[in-house]
Chain A
Amino acid sequence: MNGVMEFLRTTGGLLGLFIETLYWCKSAISNSDKVFAQLYIIGNQTLPVGALIALFSGGVLALQAGPTLAQFGLEENVGGLVGLSLAKEIGPIMASILIAGRVGSAMAAELASMSVYEEIDALKTMDINPVRYLVMPRFIAMVLALPVLVIYMDVIGWFGGGLVALVNPEVHLSLDVYYRNLSELVDFVAVVNGLIKAMFFGVIISIVCCYVGLKTKGGPREIGYSVTKAVVMSFVLVLVSDYYITRILLFLNID
């Protein structure tokens, strides 16, 4: 019973925060400095690691699929396979997990410590709305940055797949052939499919992490709990909603 109440309260709270954040997006232009500051943080935190993860993920896809396809003489399809998996599924998921782990956790920690140390209350007494001042810039930055990060990781992942296809003796595909197959199979819609997902994940991660942070009460220990909770909740919601978003996109023929 308690669990059900807690679930309903959290769901309601997340939706409420989401709607309030959307409302405050009207002040996005006059707060653009805060959005840019957040974008800068996100870029700094994710681009280097993102490249590394993407390179190896693309590589491992080619490594797994390449030899099997080669057995049936279909090795030139490695490009399409790596390209599509990355664009539609693995790119958005990897980028989300990276952003939730590196940026979302930091957001939750920052807002949680601001709650615990009365900084949020201080903002309210100064008649500065915490959602406008803190949540909205983080929300916009993440929703904008995540699709960009996905494209960045897609491209690097494709390259990683190509490298492995090239050097792996069982596949041994030239970059030229790899790229031609990839560009035949991966069309614009496939990439857009991934980007739409990424934007939804950006909404989920930023709202969850800000919500959990702002709701934190207690002391330093609770800040730690909140960070873990925010990251785990982001992962779960991203992976579960991925299924439903995919269903919807299939239904709408965006795949």
Chain B
Amino acid sequence: MERKIEEQESNTTLLGAVTSEQNGRTGSVLLDYLKCAAVGLKIDNINRSFGDNHVLRGVNLNIEPGETVVILGKSGSGKSVLMRHIIGLECPDTGRIFVAGEDINDPEFKRNHVLAMVFQSSALFNSLTVSENVALYLREHKIFTEESRIKEIVSSALEIVGLQGKEDEMPSEISGGMKRRVAVARALVMNPEVILFDEPTAGLDPMMTRTIGDLICDLKHQIQITQIVVTHDIDLAFYVADRIAILSEGRILEVGTPDQIRSSTNSGVIDFIKPQFA
């Protein structure tokens, strides 16, 4: 109920604002640049142990192109581990992950597809300024040779996350919420087909949590990108998700639209989503 009212009050945030008055606003530069090629994703029976700790015990999940799926799970349930498998930082013991039908551990995969991740810790490069952080991918992969084009894209990306004018600050000088948004900008300029968010609101105040939630919704509506959000923040999950998957004991307990999850009869799900202070 409350959600609906808040939604109406603040639907002119970020991307919304940028695109509604496109003339002269540089946010559209990035939107034009992004190719918006939404792809689907299939997680097929992933198992992973660390020593005796069997963290992922057969995770199965299908994600449709352009969908925003939230994976909800308790701390330590293996959410970050799952994300690290999807982005290719870890290899599963058994099981495979497909993006647009191609195995992510295929050597050819990286040439054809780009996935981006916003880390729980933001993971900005501390020795680089905000704009250098965002530009790094473009520079290192020599995507543009003209410095002016890089500048344009970077400031457009920063504008989309609401950080125009912060180009020259160092990561150590900005707040946690800003860092998280710089990390989103850094992910966006990679022109990814899938963005992964690992606990995007962890450690942020309620206002900033809301801003990040709006940002994820805006990305969904404006560029139809496939997004996977991992979190233990139930409010955020219901706010941004097309579908919610509950991760528990190393398995996906249930998948469904927010309404289906709300009316679930599975006791594990009910325990998880019931208000803690009600």
Q: Which A residues lie at the B interface, using CB under 8 A?
A: 110, 113-114, 117-119, 121-122, 124-128, 133
Among B126, B127, B136, the residue within 8 A (CB) of A126 is: B136
Query: What is the interface of chain B mostly: helix, strand, loop, or mixed?
Result: loop
Among B89, B121, B126, B141, the residue within 8 A (CB) of A124 is: B89
Instruction: Give the residue name and chain of the B residue nearest to A133 (CB).
Output: B140
Residues of B within 8 A of A133 (CB): 140
Q: How far is the CA of A11 from the CA of B209 in the complex (A)?
A: 46
Among A110, A121, A127, the residue within 8 A (CB) of B110 is: A127
Q: Does B117 contact A (CB under 8 A)?
A: yes
Do residues B126 and A113 form an inter-chain contact, with CB atoms below 8 A? yes
Q: How far is the CA of A83 from the CA of B50 in the complex (A)?
A: 57
Do residues B127 and A110 form an inter-chain contact, with CB atoms below 8 A? yes
Do residues B125 and A119 form an inter-chain contact, with CB atoms below 8 A? yes
Q: Does B46 contact A (CB under 8 A)?
A: no
Q: Does B137 contact A (CB under 8 A)?
A: yes
Do residues B136 and A119 form an inter-chain contact, with CB atoms below 8 A? no
Do residues B137 and A126 form an inter-chain contact, with CB atoms below 8 A? yes
Among A117, A127, A128, the residue within 8 A (CB) of B123 is: A117
Do residues A119 and B140 form an inter-chain contact, with CB atoms below 8 A? no
Q: How far is the CA of A85 from the CA of B53 in the complex (A)?
A: 57
Q: Does B225 contact A (CB under 8 A)?
A: no
Do residues B140 and A128 form an inter-chain contact, with CB atoms below 8 A? yes
In the complex, 24 of the A-B residue pairs with CB atoms within 8 angstroms, ordered by the A residue number, are A110-B127, A113-B126, A114-B125, A117-B121, A118-B119, A118-B121, A118-B123, A119-B123, A119-B125, A119-B126, A121-B89, A121-B123, A122-B123, A122-B124, A124-B88, A124-B89, A125-B88, A125-B115, A126-B136, A126-B190, A128-B136, A128-B137, A128-B140, A128-B141
Instruction: Give the residue name and chain of the B residue nearest to A122 (CB).
Output: B123
Q: How far is the CA of A5 from the CA of B114 in the complex (A)?
A: 38
Q: Does B116 contact A (CB under 8 A)?
A: yes
Residues of A within 8 A of B100 (CB): none
Q: Does B87 contact A (CB under 8 A)?
A: yes
Within 85-127 of B, Cβ neighbours of A (below 8 Å) are at 87-89, 110, 114-117, 119-121, 123-127
Do residues B140 and A122 form an inter-chain contact, with CB atoms below 8 A? no
Among A114, A122, A128, the residue within 8 A (CB) of B119 is: A122
Do residues B141 and A127 form an inter-chain contact, with CB atoms below 8 A? yes
Do residues A122 and B190 form an inter-chain contact, with CB atoms below 8 A? no
Residues of B within 8 A of A119 (CB): 123-126
Among B89, B127, B140, the residue within 8 A (CB) of A125 is: B89
Residues of B within 8 A of A124 (CB): 88-89
Residues of B within 8 A of A118 (CB): 119-121, 123
Among A122, A125, A127, the residue within 8 A (CB) of B125 is: A122
Residues of A within 8 A of B141 (CB): 127-128
